[in-house]
Amino acid sequence: MNQVTKIAIGSDHGGYELKNVIINYLKERLYIYKDFGCFDSQPVHYPDYALKVGKAIVNEEYQLGILICGTGIGMSIAANKIKGIRAALCHDTFSARMAKEHNNANVLTMGGRVIGRGLALEILQVWLGTEFSQESRHIIRLKKVEDIYEQY
């Protein structure tokens, strides 16, 4: 992944610890990122952070996003409500690669209470290092997904 790619990152309290591990990874590799919160382990509402990260991507302030909650499910659901966001919940490296290569996922969601730090970093590395394939079948499918926003 190009080092000029800007990454928006956010979590709720369930993903707070893992978010900090990921931030350290991004810092060490000189990625440009912004932490949209939360900033401690006090209970908060995950949709607030999904919206902040999603808006930053849709407004083209950031190209990619990472969202972490307890399971990753809530963040994925909330982020995918935002037109232009393609959030993928990944708990393994194969899904992370396919999320980017086939689905051009611009947001990675993970569960801080579901996967360990080592696996989370492997998933992140694969997701960041994978490019969208640009194959016509995938472009057609993504266009069909975008059309759903227009219909409903």
From the candidates 13, 91, 102, 138, which is the catalytic residue? 102
69 flagged as catalytic: yes
DSSP-based three-state secondary structure for 58: helix
Amino acid symbol at 100: K
Here the tokens at position 41 are 């382990």
DSSP reduced 3-state for 89: strand
Q: What is the amino acid identity at position 34?
A: K
Annotated active-site residue in 69, 90, 91, 138: 69
Closest CA to 133 of 88, 89, 95, 102: 102
Residue (of 72, 70, 69, 125) closest to 100 by Cα position = 125
Distance CA 67, CA 87 (A): 9
Told to judge if 13 belongs to the known catalytic residues of this protein, a careful annotator would answer no
Question: Annotated active-site positions, please?
Answer: 69, 102
